Chains A and B, each alone.
Chain A
Amino acid sequence: MEINCQKEDILMGIQTAGRAISGKNTLPILGGILIQAQNNSLNIKSTDLDIAIECSVVADVVKEGELVIADGRRFIEIVRQLPEGNINISAMNDFDLTIKYGESSLNIRGFDGEQFPLLPGREGDIHGNMAAEVFNRMVREVAIAAASDESRPIFTGILIDIQGENVIMVATDTHRLAKAEGIWQGDDQIKVVVPAKTMLEITKIAAGEENIEITISKKHICFVMGNTVFISRIINGQYPDYEPIMPKEEQYKTEVSVAKKTLLNSLSRASLLARDNNSIVKLNFTQNEIVMTADSPDVGNIKENIPANIEGEYFQTAYNVRYLIDALKVMEGENILMRLTGVITPGIILPQEEKNYTYLLLPIRLSNQ
């Protein structure tokens, strides 16, 4: 195998594909990057067996072939440090690699390319497209509500629920639930759960792309963005039915309209004190304002009056301040709407201008409630 390519091209490729390099030491070859020189392009692949990323870059292929660079992460570091311009990569023997740059060269250990696990194919029963911008917005909005506790795998994922021309993404850690809606062009009707961490990785690759092509099979989901293919396993199991937990229209008692930035700034200040007290922040919804209080027995307390338009019943309730901040940070628009059903029953938060995002949140039950 021998190729000539520009440093910036191969660096882009190995940085993208390198995101799937395994951090575990179970199988040494998974810490490597597979490079395949063929048809005037260099295919770069890595996998940790949960996800696989394949990226193609332009290269002048002198001799076709493939091999695995043993230490993928180190290879990325090395290429990053090379001078700009053309580099020549060639196989020294069956396994090792020589990189020539200018008058200099270095050698890197490798494995036989044949040993690299076969990556899942791109085939699937369901196929469609999403605008990358919409996909990234939806993932960003819902991933905050996914659980990080691996003992409940289904809740560490994002449900992708395709219903005709609509795609709904849902995540919940059972204390809160985030739901975002977008447009889907393709085959209809399927529900799959994909790890939230994986979805967030995809948003990094999709940034700057226009379109994401998505193919879903029984075990895998495949995302194609420009010259990059991202394949992830699907989380097994039944995602709980989220519709029954959404409050019904007649249950809403109070509607609060408030400037997002003002509320977010107040909550951020409150969080500094609330973190010593189970992250509890109390919000008293009263005429034309929200009175926000939080206290830390050892540090101090805070009280802020936040202007708001409040319709319906007035009452005080308590929330986990982190959960509120998480939601406000990802919401678009200048104003938010809080629709509440009671002191200890769930309410929703949504952007006032957009109706394609809903964040369902349970208040904290205080000891006197």
Chain B
Amino acid sequence: MTLRQDMLMVEEELNRLLTTMQELRIRVDALEVQNSRLLERLMNQNVQDEGTENLTSLYNEGFHICPMHYGQNREGEECLFCLSFLKGENQ
């Protein structure tokens, strides 16, 4: 492989990483806002040892509670993993 090839691949990879970083930054910002809102709500409720209830109500309010997408908006659709997680919590 020539040096030029190496440079081209590095440049392409860098571009890709920069785009990904930018997308991630936007996503992280959105999640931080969402998380602080959720935390604030939980604090205001001043509820302890009511994890499952909180999770259920969060889910019913339209947020993911599964570990993969916790706190993200479900956009009106049900989630197999959230329901499975809730079922596990209830048992």
> Is B84's CB under 8 angstroms from A244's CB?
yes
> Interface readout for A136-151 with B: 1 if CB under 8 Å, 0 if not?
0000000000000001
> Interface readout for B55-91 with A: 1 if CB under 8 Å, 0 if not?
0000000000010110000001111110110001000
CA distance A362 to B2 in the complex (A): 53
Residues B7-39 near A (CB distance < 8 A): 8-9, 11-12, 15, 23, 27
**Residue from the list B8, B9, B27 in contact with A151, Cβ < 8 A:** B27
> Is B5's CB under 8 angstroms from A172's CB?
no
- In the complex, which range does the number of interface residues on chain A fall in? 20 to 34
> Is B1's CB under 8 angstroms from A364's CB?
no
Provide the residues of chain B in CB contact with A362, threshold 8 Å.
Answer: 78-80, 83
CA distance A364 to B9 in the complex (A): 46
- In the complex, which range does the number of interface residues on chain B fall in? 20 to 34
> Is B5's CB under 8 angstroms from A346's CB?
no
- Confirm or deny: A360 has a beta carbon within 8 angstroms of a beta carbon on chain B: yes
> Is B80's CB under 8 angstroms from A174's CB?
yes
CA distance A296 to B12 in the complex (A): 49
With CB as the reference atom, state the residue of chain A lying closest to B60: A365
Residue from B4, B11, B77 with most neighbouring chain A CB atoms (10 Å): B77
CA distance A244 to B88 in the complex (A): 9
> Is B78's CB under 8 angstroms from A240's CB?
no
> Is B8's CB under 8 angstroms from A27's CB?
yes
> Is A172's CB under 8 angstroms from B80's CB?
yes
Q: Could you count the A-B residue pairs with CB atoms below 8 Å apart for me: how many are there?
A: 59
> Is A115's CB under 8 angstroms from B84's CB?
no
> Interface readout for A225-260 with B: 1 if CB under 8 Å, 0 if not?
000000000000000100011000000000000000
> Is B81's CB under 8 angstroms from A245's CB?
yes
Residues A334-369 near B (CB distance < 8 A): 344-346, 360, 362-365
**Residue from the list A152, A172, A175 in contact with B77, Cβ < 8 A:** A175
CA distance A88 to B63 in the complex (A): 63
**Residue from the list B5, B15, B69, B88 in contact with A114, Cβ < 8 A:** B5
Provide the residues of chain A in CB contact with B27, threshold 8 Å.
Answer: 151
> Is A240's CB under 8 angstroms from B83's CB?
no
> Is A175's CB under 8 angstroms from B12's CB?
no
> Is B83's CB under 8 angstroms from A117's CB?
no
CA distance A118 to B3 in the complex (A): 12
Provide the residues of chain B in CB contact with A244, threshold 8 Å.
Answer: 84, 88
- Confirm or deny: A49 has a beta carbon within 8 angstroms of a beta carbon on chain B: yes
> Is B2's CB under 8 angstroms from A245's CB?
no
CA distance A346 to B82 in the complex (A): 12
Chain B residues proximal to chain A, CB less than 8 Å? 1-2, 4-5, 8-9, 11-12, 15, 23, 27, 66, 68-69, 76-81, 83-84, 88
Contacts A/B (CB < 8 Å), 17 sampled: A26-B12, A29-B8, A49-B12, A114-B2, A114-B4, A117-B5, A152-B69, A174-B80, A174-B81, A175-B77, A175-B80, A240-B66, A240-B68, A346-B80, A346-B83, A362-B80, A362-B83
| CB-based closest 6 A-B pairs | A245-B84, A362-B78, A174-B79, A245-B80, A118-B1, A175-B77
